[in-house]
Chain A
Amino acid sequence: MPVITLTINDELVSGRRGESLLEVIREHGITLPTLCHMEGLSERGGCRLCIVEVEGSPRPVTACTTTAREGMVIRTHTTRLIRYRRMIVELLLAERNHYCAVCVSVGHCELQNVAASLGVDHVRYEYLSPRVTMDLSHERFGMDHNRCILCTRCVRVCDEVEGVRTWDIAHRGVRSRIIADLNYPWGESETCTSCGKCVQVCPTGALFTKGATVGEMVKDPGMLRRVLEGRDRKEWEG
């Protein structure tokens, strides 16, 4: 396999041609936070937490959507990047209503964990407190837009793995909302197979199994890998 060499934080490292910067960086044991990235799904570059400095580029780039190339000089934890990552998480917390204390995912939430790991112990921005809804029309699952960070893992897993694309995004910017079909109540969706993959990949308490109360929604992050590996081995054929 063709090997490339690049410099990460003043250290010469090697990677495989075609790998993303995020893959190379993580292979070398460097911690880079992510929320929209999920192994097995296409990259979106939406949460911006994996931004890195690439020498020659005036602005940070997302490591998940940048292909590693020979000779690149990368910095992962400059003062600017650390500051930006904190700002991003604070803005995510300010945009919707993330009341951790009463959330189904408290204690098992990727947003909560990323905030703690980046040292976000308060939010400097004004909370927008938008009046958004909950969709409880599905028989088994619920969608709470208060907790949604628009990472689109649900959209991608439904499209790329389940092959359905029940989920999509309506509107733009801060008004963006995850919708089922053409903005139908989830329970009335004619495309949803009720497979529940979206629930398992959701990083927060936005998608959950009905009946879960505070802290009871424990996601299964290994589900996607098992599904994809099982398919590769043709486990469910015949």
Chain B
Amino acid sequence: MNKAGTTDRIRFATVWLGGCSGCHMSFLDLDERLVELAEAAELVFSPFVDTKEFPEGVDVTLVEGAVTNRANLAMAERVRERSRIVVSLGDCAVTGNVTSLRNLFPVEAVLAPFRAEDGRSGKAFLDYTSIPELLPRALPLHQVIPVDGYVPGCPPDADRIWEAVRALLRGEPVALAESMRTFG
């Protein structure tokens, strides 16, 4: 039984890892289809809702973004542990994409400009100790945890997301048509 007092809605989550949130913006472009989704699914965790902890017993989780730092890594592992189906949403989760552009350089070289001191204040531009440590490389989600489906695109447009979500709501695997599975 979920909070709404019904048992027929699936427990649905979306997670934002190393991405620009464009995939989540595209998700909002589902527009009136969001109403249909809300009838079939309860959004138990997402940047759109105010749940702090990723809950147990989630049916479907869409993950945006590459796994680029330790917080992403811990979150990805928790998502896998607690979700029945995990789907990579968008190119950063699927391929690493723009988030992984930094893989061409060692982490130290990537961070050097942020560690540099501001000429006026004498302080570093960024207090790097306060943000999660970068992994040596930004990784596609499926290189970190087993993934059950892929929705490529940067961002995947709302029609693609809806195709995938509809299949998931029916309990079917994500199988996008050719025109809906291009990268980029």
Q: Is A193 an interface residue (CB 8 A)?
A: no
Collect the chain A residues with CB atoms within 8 Å of residue B98's CB. Answer: 99, 101-102
- Bitwise, B74-101 to A at CB < 8 A (1) or not (0) is 0000000000000010010011111011
Task: Assess whether B103 is in contact with A129, with CB atoms less than 8 Å apart.
Answer: yes
Chain B minimum-CB-distance residue to A101: B154
* A129 & B137 in contact (Cβ 8 Å cutoff): yes
Stretch of A7-15, A39-47, A119-127, A153-161 contacting B (4+ beta carbons < 8 Å): A119-127
Would A103 and B181 be within 8 Å (CB), given that A122-B94, A122-B142, A131-B104 are in contact? Answer: no
How far, in Å, is B165 (CB) from chain A's closest CB?
16
Give A131's nearest chain B residue, CB to CB. Answer: B104
A112, A119, A124, A127: the one contacting B183 at CB < 8 Å is: A112
Does A213 belong to the interface (CB within 8 Å)?
Answer: no
Give the chain B neighbours of A121 by CB distance below 8 A. 94, 150, 152, 176, 181
Chain B contact-residue range equals: 20 to 34
Question: A112 vs B95: C-alpha distance in the bound complex, in angstroms?
Answer: 13
Residues of A within 8 A of B182 (CB): 100, 112-113, 115-116
The answer to whether A106 touches B184, judged by C-beta atoms less than 8 angstroms apart, is yes
The SS class assigned to the A binding surface is: loop
Known A-B contacts A121-B152, A126-B143, A127-B103; the reply to A116 vs B184 at CB < 8 A is no
B178, CB-defined interface residue at 8 Å: yes
Residue A176 CB within 8 A of the other chain: no
B179 interfacial by beta-carbon distance below 8 Å: yes
A22 to chain B: closest CB distance in Å?
22
Q: Shortest distance in angstroms between B155's beta carbon and chain A's nearest beta carbon?
A: 9
The interface residues of chain A lying within 8 Å CB-to-CB of B183 are: 98, 100-101, 112, 115-116
- Please list the residues of chain B having a beta carbon within 8 angstroms of any beta carbon in chain A: 88, 91, 94-98, 100-101, 103-105, 137, 140, 142-143, 147, 150, 152, 154, 176, 178-179, 181-184
A sample of 10 cross-chain residue pairs with beta-carbon separation below 8 angstroms, ordered by A number, consists of A93-B95, A99-B97, A99-B98, A102-B98, A106-B184, A113-B182, A121-B181, A122-B150, A126-B143, A127-B95
